[in-house]
Each structure stands twice: as C-alpha cells, then as structure tokens.
Amino acid sequence: MIKTRRSEGAATAVEGAARPWDARLAAWLVRPLIDSRVTPNHVTTLRLLLGLLGAACFAHGGFGWCNAGAILIVLSNFIDHGDGELARMSGKTSRIGHVYDLASDAVVTVGLFAGLGLGVAVTLPDRGASWWVAPPALGVIAGLAVALIFYVRLLLENRAGKAGSRQASFAGFETEDVLYLLPLITVFDATRGFLVAAAVGAPLFLILVLRDYWRVREAAPAAASDASTGMARAERSMANDDEHIALAGVGAAAFSNPEGGVDAGRADTGGHALGASMAPPMAAAEAAPSAVPSMRASAEVGTVDPDRAVAARVADFDAAAAKARFDEQGAFLFIEDFLPPEVTRGLIDCVRAVQSQANRNYLPGHKQGGSVSRHVIDEAAPFIAELYRSPALIGWLERLTGDRLLPSPDDDPHAYALYFYTRAGDHIGWHYDTSYYDGKRYTLLLGVIDDSSCLLEYRLHTRDEQRANVSGAARLRPGGFILFDGDKLHHRVTRLKEGEERVSLTFEYVTDPTLRGSRRVLSNLKDAVAYFGFRQVFRGMIGRRREPARRPDEPR
C-alpha cells in the first residue's frame, strides 16, 4: 500500500478510531524502536523481502507452497504499515525512504500476482494452454492494474488532498485489506478463481479511479484564479516588506552580532527570541521607504544585469566574518536581506511566467506543494538561469564554502527550481537534502514571495557526534538568503495557513558533477515522484546532450 510517512510534529490525517486497525497495531509494535538504530528503511526492506519470498512461494505452485506464500504476503502487508508509523513517531524521514517505500509497494504487488499466475500455470496439466489468456499474463494484468491504482491515488491526493482519495473503509478495514484473506483462499485451494477475479476486477477498479481523477482534473480551472490571486498577494507582500530590502539591513548586522539571528532556538547562548532575531536594525527599517523603490511596480527583467547587481551587493558584506559564521554553524548561513531589490522584482516576474506550470504533488504526511524545474524555467524564465550562473554569486558562495563550485549538470531538474506553497497545508517535513553526486552539493535558498507565517525550522550538527545539536528557525522574506550543505542540515518548512502564499527559489551547486548509473535512476525517480512530475523530469532529459559542468567563466 501507499503509506503515510509522517514528519515529526506533522498533523495526522486520520486519527484515533478512524485510523485502520492494522496501522494502529503497527504503531504500538514499532514504538520500542523509536530511539533505536532501526530506521523506517530497515522496516521497508523487511516488508520487501517477505513480499518477494511470498511471491516466490506462489510461483512455485502447489498447495503447501501457496499457503506459505499467503502467510508471508499477509505479514508483508502488515509490516507495510510499520515503516510509516516509525517515521511518523521518530522523525526519521527521508526522500530516499519515500521513493524506496513506493517502489517496494509496486514490486511486491506486481510480484504477488505474477507469481500467482505462474503458480497456477504450474499446477495445470496443460500449463494453462487451454485458457483464453495464459495464467501468467493474467497475473501481470492484475499486478500492473493494482500498481497503477496506487499511482493514480497519489495523483488524486496531489490535486484533491487526502480526503479526495481516501479508500473506502468499514469498521477499521480498508479495501486493500482483502489481502488478509489470502490464507483462506489458499486453504480452500481457490487460487485459480482469485487470479481470474483479480485480473478482471483490478482493471475495472482502475477505470473507476481514473474516472475520479479526470473529474477532479476537469475541476482544476480554479487553479488559474489561485495564480492571479497569489500574484496580488505577492505584490502586497513585497509592499509590506520594503523595510527588509534596505541595503544596509541585516547584511551588516548579521555578522557583527555574535548570535547573528540564526540560532533562535539555541539553549546554551541566551540568544534572541525568534521575532527579534530576524528584525532588521531600527535605523535600516526607518530608512527603507526613502532608500528603496516601491516593490509594487513590476520590473522589466531585460533591463537588469543580475551579475552586476550581485557583485555590488556582496561588496557590502564582511566575507571573512560570514565564512566564520558558516563554518561555526556546520555549513549553514542565514542572511535575512541579501538580494538587491531589482533582482527580487525580476524573480517575481519569473514566478508570474511559470506559476501555471507548477506540478503539485502530495506525499502523505511528508510533503505538499508545487514545484517548477529548471527545464521549464529555461524556457519561460531565463532570468533565473542568468542569476544562477552569475560569476559574482558563485564567487561569493566559494568564499563562504571554501570549495570550488560548479553548476549542476544540464539534465538535473533541481539545479534551479521554484517551490510554491499556495494552498492551506502546504509544507515539507523533516528531511535532509540528500546528494547523489560523488562530491558535495550546496543548496542556496532564496526568498521570492512571503505572505505567510511559514518558517524554515532547522537542526544543526545532527550528524556531528562531537557537537551538541542546535535548533532554530528562520522566516525567509523576499530577498533572503540561506546557504547550507543539505547532507548536514535537518530541516523542514512549517504548514501554510489559509489565505497565505510562499514562493522560494533554490540553486544547487556541486564540487564534483559525477552521478553514477544507479544513483542517476534513483535521483530521476525521486524528482519525478516527489517534485516535478514525470513530464517535467523526462521532457528535460529527452533531446538534451549531457555536457560536462563548467563554471560560467570557462570557455565551452
């Protein structure tokens, strides 16, 4: 099944008695593992192995083998709840875990029905030659149909939320719990009838689910009005936040204040309260109306040279102090006011250009929101690509990190991407930005629109056994800057409230662009399922020749 890997502190979609009985029992059984070395991925692996063993038993055929297979499949189906419950209670979430979880579900489901088809054929005198459709083919039909049902349900959740795709249930039992009846089917030697019923019933049920999906999709025009309303909010947000764009703002203060405003939750420093730590100095706030043009007016992107603007901006900072802060915090730095106003205006224009192409997705309990990949940005908002390749920006980041940085390869949809939080409940749970490259990968997070109460909450030093963990939070206002090593920073974005909007931009830079075969496949699958959709990811790959990553100042 497709499970809910809930992040720590995230709201549970179905609580109490409304939750399936097996999920409640699984939560009780895995509770002792919360503080152990056992991770949700370990539980997923156990589920996958049991499921594959069960499928192999069915493929062997015969009364005894099928009964053993049925017991293994029932155990696998039950354990399938355990990884999600363990992740929810322990906060041990990861992007790889989500993809691994979904892939395991699909493999076990297809394997079960394919094995059942092979096993039925083995027990027939003519190996099924007299059947209109061979038993193995029936098994594949049933397995693929069920796998597609799971996938379409995920699309439904992406568009209509959890309630829009919730399975039918009665007294704590869900539709998928029919698999718990497998031992009865094998004991009464009814596997042939079950195979035929599955091969006919699963595709019919898939048609019903597809009908629901198309009905929801046809009702999507409301998204267009969401986009226009959202842009009005963006302009209002920028107007309200003029004081945060003053060039003298937190840029200088962030590195003269020992606490810097980024360790709001630090217990051992007596640091500032969160709201105070993020507020710019009073002089900067008072000077903002006269020092900065109004952000309400739209900028002509073509007149802005992002590299020249950034070069002038970084001259305002003490690079040595900023690097010291970055290193002291374990490869993390927050500057509340970084981008020049004209660059921020240009980014807002880019948001207008691509917002209708945002791919929304929903991973139960972990992530909800919209994303636009670099492939769409290249076509509709090239200003972002110019900023990404700015020699001044890359040079500044190299001074902070101490590493020689390269742009991500041309076929990486995450190289630069926009993330839209536009509907109530949009968020992303606790995670690391796991890199699949051979070298380091740094993430630069830039604020574009913020008319929200969302916070980026983070935990520093979680993978450094020599240092105490430090918790904090940052509100990423328009023009804000957060640089971090995603493999080190444990972080999340809190839930969006009704009537709010938040749009952020990420840039990814690497020290070694090598991405080996299996990791490339896993990375593309993760990006397609969790972020940009298969169309954006694979459309960008088709027709693109993978070129070596180069710095902007290197000749081709």
For residue 126, what pLDDT is reported?
61
Polymer length of the chain: 556
Give the E-state strand segments of 289-381 in sequence order: 332-335, 359-363, 367-372
Closest Cα to residue 429, out of 162, 97, 103? 97
| Euclidean distance between CA atoms 8 and 6, whole angstroms | 7
pLDDT in tens, 332-355: 999 999 999 999 999 999 999 999
Which has more pLDDT, 270 or 230? 230
Q: Is residue 326's pLDDT more than 80?
A: yes
* Predicted TM-score of the model (pTM): 0.51
Per the rule left: phi > 0, alpha: psi between -120 and 50, beta: everything else, 369 is: left
pLDDT at 9: 36
Res. 125 pLDDT band, cuts 50 70 90: low
What pLDDT sits at residue 53? 95
Mean pLDDT of 2-19: 40
Instruction: Answer left, alpha or beta for residue 171, where phi above 0 means left and psi between -120 and 50 means alpha.
Output: left
Q: Provide the mean pLDDT of the chain.
A: 76
Domains (ranges, CATH) in the chain? Answer: 2-219 (1.20.120.1760), 274-280+296-543 (2.60.120.620)
Percent of the chain with pLDDT over 70: 67
Residue 2: the pLDDT is 37
- Which of 10-19, 202-211, 221-230 tops mean pLDDT? 202-211
322 or 136: which leads in pLDDT? 322
Report residue 450's pLDDT band, with 50, 70 and 90 as the boundaries.
Answer: very high
Q: Which residue has the higher pLDDT, 356 or 552?
A: 356
Q: What is the pLDDT of residues 482-535, one digit of tens each?
A: 999 988 999 999 999 999 999 999 999 999 988 776 666 666 666 666 566 666
List pLDDT tens digits, range 169-202. Answer: 444 456 566 778 889 888 888 888 888 888 898 8
101: left (phi > 0), else alpha (psi -120 to 50), else beta? alpha
For residue 440, CA distances in Å to 431, 488, 518, 525, 527 come to 17, 11, 18, 21, 19
Highest mean predicted confidence (pLDDT) among 156-170, 220-234, 391-405: 391-405
